[in-house]
Structure 1
Amino acid sequence: MSRVISYTRFSTRRQAAGDSYRRQTEAALKWCKQHGHELDTTLRLEDLGVSGYSGANAKRGALGVLQLMTLEGKLEPGTILLIEAFDRLTRLPLPDAYELLLSLVNNGLTIVTLTDGKVWSKRTMSSLESFLLSLVTLYRGHQESEYKSQRLRETFATHRKRGSREAFGSAPGWLTRSDKTAPWQIIEERAESVRKVFELAAKGLGGKAIAKIANEESWPVPTRLNLTGKRWHAQMPGQLLRNRAVLGEHEHRIQTHEARAEHWRGRGTGIARVDYYPRIISDELWHRARAAIESRKIAPRRDRHYFNIFSGLLFCGHCGAPMQRKIERRGWSRAQLVCADKVAGATKCPTGAALQTDEHLLLAIFAEATDMLGSDATRKIEERIAVLDSQFKRLRDESERIADAIATTGGRVTALISKAEQLQEELLNCALQRETLAVELALTDGSSAELDVDWISDARDMLYEISDAAREARASLHLRIARLVETVWLYPYEVAMIRFKNGLMKPVPLPPKQLPSRAKPEAKYHKPPARKIKPQPLQMMALRGQLELPEPRRPAPALQHQAAPLLYEPDAPGAAQEGSGGAQ
């Protein structure tokens, strides 16, 4: 007796709550009972919520498994495959659909369509009548899906033109509404979680640190698809910080099968709808957070307490490799500054003590930039300039994407042209504001500001303190230093060279290496420092401007995801859709 297997498929998750699955499985059992066969349930071929119109069931579903089994001869010739109808098997265009059908029957399968009881095998399909009937049936299945898909595309395009929110049901997790015609309402406790994320990011904390705080303080998770329960995962803060829905914006995305093949979220239309959602973050806070993120891109953050305020800036003066900070919980030096190549065993570059390096570098930077680190007025100007730089970068990137979209559509979409003109105007205003602030900053007499000894003392104390307040202070300090300093070359116990972003080079003499008993007056067996200190040749060369500095070996920048070309033709009959990829 021939082996009998069945294949079950429906296209969308919504159909799981309907009658499709029960109808298909009961039809298969009924056919087996009528013809004296037993259904083999050990091989379950099911594609539930998988499209046949896009071919996903053949590419990565159970149908693909079935094809592979027939090609490898794992199913005996004469095996009977029960399907409800050809459109359960595939809704691909006729050439692809017929190739699929022939590959199954030519490899020994006998297919039975349960709706009409017809048998399709290599022998029966040799008949011209069966051949033509199979072609017509496959063609009709594809055309039906194509027609429904086209109607959905036109419906969604009409709703987009009207600015309607009724056809598009999903929204960020901090919003809710009773039905599709009701206005969005803010879930305040979730919105407050989002605001806290932006505030901490603006202070310089990274995504992992923010997620840790959120879990410790049990913040509500502000996402719509909450797959982690009440737990924040490390990527969640970063996702929120990139989501412009917090500003009330929404960009409709093309959700056709072709677009989703490029990216799981589909393809953006390039046109942001302002005031689409209720705003929960101000423009000022958004840009402050973005400016902080841009400053933190110098190097990945690894120490969770943010002890390394020179992260991404400090390099070995002997070989140019990054300097790593090895924390010491009990030692006098607080931490060891070690050349990365020495850690790898490639060099024997000397190691330095953080306690004899951090304060001297901080004093030197502070002396050159009191206006940034000590003066509230000038610090606010610098922060506003950083915000404008972030805003300018965002506008420029968006302008380039719109320009690509205009080139792709041949200038036929007037909305894109209007958007491009608006962006150019915003870019000009942003540049003018930055220039005004730069002039204002230049006129500020930073040289008259006195060195704030109390501030330096407080900064020195918080450099090694373990507390939430100290961590936030160190993160903020790192942001300010990164906006001012380009590179620091360290020759442990001799000299450091600081290159500021304005081109200034400054040598910083460092104290020689000493035993803790000599360096710490409060030590039990304290000995005064030696009267004669050996000359430091590198220090003398640096002071004379004769020191040759190696090229700093910075980490390669992460590959940026390239935005797909924008295709949006709202006046065309095949305009992109927002929701389903079409009836399948």
Structure 2
Amino acid sequence: MTRVISYTRFSSARQAKGDSYRRQTEMAMKWCRDNGHVLDTELTLEDLGVSGYSGANVKKGALAVLQEMLAMGQIESGTILLIEAFDRLTRMNIMQAYGLIFGLINSGLVIVTVTDGKVWNSKTMNNLTDFMMSLVLLYRGHEESARKSDLLRKTFNRHRNTGSQQAFGVAPGWLYREEKSQVWVVIEELAESVRKVFEMSAQGYGSKAIAKRANEENWPIPTRKTKASSEHWHAQMPGQMLRNRSVLGEHEHRIRTHDAQQYHWKGLSTGMVIPDYYPQIVSDELWHRARASIDTRMVEKRRDTQYYNIWSGLMYCGLCGAPIQRRSDKNWHSKGQHFCSDKLAGVTACPSSSIVTTDFPLLCDIYSYASTELGTVSGEQYVARAAELEVFIKDKAREASRLTIAIAKTNSSIEVLSRKLLEVEEAMRHAQDELREVQQEAAICDGNATFDESFIEDVFTFLYVPDSLEAKDKRAALHLKLCRLIDHIFLYPYDAAAVKWKNQNVLMWVKLNDKQLPSRSDPTAKFHKPPKPRPPKPHPYYEAGMRFELVPPEPKIRAPFKRREKSYRESVVPDDVLDSLDNIEDGTS
């Protein structure tokens, strides 16, 4: 008996709610009953919500699978393929459509359009009348889709140019509206979750730590509800929110065609960013503080979830330049050890050192230097403001780059894009001027310390306290402050540490405590004995550093974790795709 298979397709997910799928499957079953065949239900060929106009079903859908099976000889010659009509198979242009049809027929398939019961095989395609009929059907299907695409594109362009929000119904999960004609309303409970994410980021917490806190405290999840929505906060969710400028009320129109989404799931940027499109739920000041915090701590992946390692990403071995790793031990006086990472890898024999012999003298000298040389509490505000401005300038530079590419690649809206580019460049210039002023003010301010006395006292109180949220917050805040002020610290165990400050060429040398047994150094130890009188141990590295005779090695900075740019990069899209954007299906949002 001749094998009969069927192919079902519709273009959009909205059609799944209609009658298209039922109609196509029932017509295939009816044709089999009327003609004495049995439909093969083991091979299911369905492209549901896949465009035939763009050729997505041919490139990666069920139709692509069918062609591969034919090429491998898995479907015998003479097999009947049932389709509702030619436009279910394809709506591509005539040249592409005929290439597909002839390819299937030459592979041995017999195509039947069940709407009219017409059989299409090598015999009928050699008949001039049938050939012309197929030509008309394929042309009509393509032109119908092209007309709809043109209408959609014009509709989206009209709404976009007038600033209307009615054609673009998708919004962040913390907003809702009953009808497209209404304004967006903030769901305060969800917006508060977003603000907490930004506040914790500004304090120095990373995405995983924020997600963990959110799950522990059962924060509502402020994302759109879909079938694939998570029921809890996952590690990437806070990071995604921290990059989403919708919290500032901005919206960027994007071209979401099949061709554009081949390069990025978000589609193709138009370069048009609209301010005040949504209600703003995060202040500009909080956004820049959070982004500045993220840029400040762009170091290797943190494994210390309790933030005990306040020197993370800053400390390097003074002997070989490798990063210093910390192994905590809360139950012993030493609180753990600092290890050269190259020693752990078996590359060097650099010595380790006790954490307590490093942390306290180093923090005290940093506090003392910051008190007299690095400015005031207002100086700390200058440092934070400078970090915020640097993030703002980077954002504007990226936006200017996108606009420049969009102007070069588009044939429309050049005047609008050019005007926007001038605005972005002007904002960037103002920010650069303010940054210079802030840096000058920070250089001349005096008075109280950047690390004020109450702050440093709190740090020493909470430095090693386990299982305390307050202590964890203090350590995270301290790490962020250190990252904003210090470039590198070079450690010479039980001898010295050299601190390289940001924007300064002079090293600050710190003498570290000598190595002692816990029973000697800790008066509360059970078998405490006062240390025996002995001459002070020499500190050759410290002395050489103070005489300017010791130069630390170049730090072996591990490549920082760079998140792949989520925004669409127009520069990777071939020109032929960009040039064809005005002639492809769907629209923008």
- TM norm structure 1: 0.93
Q: Which amino acid aligns with 2:308?
A: F
Q: Which amino acid aligns with 2:586?
A: S
2:521 aligned to which of 505, 519, 524: 519
Instruction: Tell me if the contact between 2:352 and 2:493 (Cα under 8 Å) persists in the aligned partners.
Output: yes
Q: Partner of 1:287: helix, strand, or coil?
A: helix
Are positions 1:209 and 2:215 aligned together? no
Counterpart-to-counterpart distance in 2, 1:574 and 1:162? 24
* Counterparts of residues 92-491 of structure 1 (less than 5 Å): 92-226=92-226, 227-370=228-371, 375-409=376-410, 413-446=414-447, 455-466=455-466, 467-491=468-492
Counterpart-to-counterpart distance in 1, 2:455 and 2:171? 46
Q: Which amino acid aligns with 1:580?
A: D
Q: Which amino acid aligns with 2:517?
A: L
Q: 1:465 to 1:109 in 2, by over 3 A?
A: same
Q: Which amino acid aligns with 1:6?
A: S
Q: Write the deviation string for residues 159-199 of structure 1: whole angstroms up to 9, x where unpaired.
A: 11111111111111011001011111111100111111111
Instruction: Tell me if the contact between 2:377 and 2:451 (Cα under 8 Å) persists in the aligned partners.
Output: no
- Per mean C-alpha deviation after superposition, the further-off stretch among 363-372 and 378-387 is 363-372
Q: Partner of 2:82: helix, strand, or coil?
A: strand
Q: Partner of 1:369: helix, strand, or coil?
A: helix
- TM-fit CA distance, 1:424: 2.2
* Counterparts of residues 531-542 of structure 1 (less than 5 Å): 531-542=534-545
Counterpart-to-counterpart distance in 2, 1:129 and 1:372? 92
- TM-fit CA distance, 1:463: 1.4
Counterpart-to-counterpart distance in 2, 1:126 and 1:187? 64
Instruction: Tell me if the contact between 1:254 and 1:578 (Cα under 8 Å) persists in the aligned partners.
Output: no
- TM-fit CA distance, 1:128: 2.5
Counterpart-to-counterpart distance in 2, 1:354 and 1:247? 43
Counterpart-to-counterpart distance in 1, 2:451 and 2:65? 73
Instruction: Tell me if the contact between 2:264 and 2:568 (Cα under 8 Å) persists in the aligned partners.
Output: no
Q: 1:574 to 1:549 in 2, by over 3 A?
A: closer
- Per mean C-alpha deviation after superposition, the further-off stretch among 556-565 and 386-395 is 556-565
Counterpart-to-counterpart distance in 2, 1:310 and 1:451? 16
Query: Among the aligned pairs, what percent are the same residue?
Result: 51
Q: 1:238 to 1:100 in 2, by over 3 A?
A: same
Q: 1:197 to 1:382 in 2, by over 3 A?
A: same
Instruction: Tell me if the contact between 1:373 and 1:480 (Cα under 8 Å) persists in the aligned partners.
Output: no
Aligned length: 577
Counterpart-to-counterpart distance in 1, 2:115 and 2:59? 26
| Structure 2: 5+ residue stretches without partners | 574-578
Q: Partner of 2:252: helix, strand, or coil?
A: strand
Instruction: Tell me if the contact between 1:252 and 1:578 (Cα under 8 Å) persists in the aligned partners.
Output: no
Q: Write the deviation string for residues 67-90 of structure 1: whole angstroms up to 9, x where unpaired.
A: 111111111111111111111111
Q: 1:31 to 1:560 in 2, by over 3 A?
A: closer
| Structure 1: 5+ residue stretches without partners | 568-572
Instruction: Tell me if the contact between 2:379 and 2:450 (Cα under 8 Å) persists in the aligned partners.
Output: no
Q: Partner of 1:272: helix, strand, or coil?
A: strand
Once superposed, what is the RMSD of the aligned Cα atoms?
A: 2.5
The residue aligned with 2:41 is 41
Q: Which amino acid aligns with 1:50?
A: V
Instruction: Tell me if the contact between 1:336 and 1:354 (Cα under 8 Å) persists in the aligned partners.
Output: yes
Q: Write the deviation string for residues 459-480 of structure 1: whole angstroms up to 9, x where unpaired.
A: 1221112311111111111111
Q: Which amino acid aligns with 1:541?
A: A
Counterpart-to-counterpart distance in 2, 1:579 and 1:122? 32
- Per mean C-alpha deviation after superposition, the further-off stretch among 337-346 and 210-219 is 337-346
Q: 1:161 to 1:317 in 2, by over 3 A?
A: same
Counterpart-to-counterpart distance in 2, 1:195 and 1:207? 14
Q: Write the deviation string for residues 97-152 of structure 1: whole angstroms up to 9, x where unpaired.
A: 21111121111111101111111112332222223322332222122111111110
- TM-fit CA distance, 1:388: 1.5
- TM-fit CA distance, 1:275: 1.2
Q: Which amino acid aligns with 1:326?
A: R
Q: 1:578 to 1:126 in 2, by over 3 A?
A: closer
- TM-fit CA distance, 1:248: 1.0
Q: 1:476 to 1:418 in 2, by over 3 A?
A: same
The residue aligned with 1:507 is 509
- TM-fit CA distance, 1:486: 0.5
Q: Which amino acid aligns with 1:188?
A: E
Counterpart-to-counterpart distance in 2, 1:63 and 1:402? 38
Instruction: Tell me if the contact between 2:376 and 2:446 (Cα under 8 Å) persists in the aligned partners.
Output: no
- Per mean C-alpha deviation after superposition, the further-off stretch among 244-253 and 294-303 is 294-303
Instruction: Tell me if the contact between 1:255 and 1:576 (Cα under 8 Å) persists in the aligned partners.
Output: no
Q: 1:230 to 1:267 in 2, by over 3 A?
A: same
- Per mean C-alpha deviation after superposition, the further-off stretch among 508-517 and 66-75 is 508-517
Q: 1:241 to 1:51 in 2, by over 3 A?
A: same
Counterpart-to-counterpart distance in 1, 2:6 and 2:63? 11
Instruction: Tell me if the contact between 1:520 and 1:526 (Cα under 8 Å) persists in the aligned partners.
Output: yes
* Counterparts of residues 19-58 of structure 1 (less than 5 Å): 19-58=19-58
2:530 aligned to which of 528, 534, 538: 528
Q: Write the deviation string for residues 226-284 of structure 1: whole angstroms up to 9, x where unpaired.
A: 53443111111111111111111111111122221221111121121111111111111
Are positions 1:498 and 2:499 aligned together? yes
The residue aligned with 2:16 is 16
- Per mean C-alpha deviation after superposition, the further-off stretch among 119-128 and 310-319 is 119-128
Instruction: Tell me if the contact between 1:256 and 1:577 (Cα under 8 Å) persists in the aligned partners.
Output: no
- TM-fit CA distance, 1:335: 2.1
Counterpart-to-counterpart distance in 1, 2:185 and 2:412? 38
Q: 1:77 to 1:451 in 2, by over 3 A?
A: closer
Counterpart-to-counterpart distance in 1, 2:80 and 2:338? 71
Counterpart-to-counterpart distance in 1, 2:585 and 2:459? 54
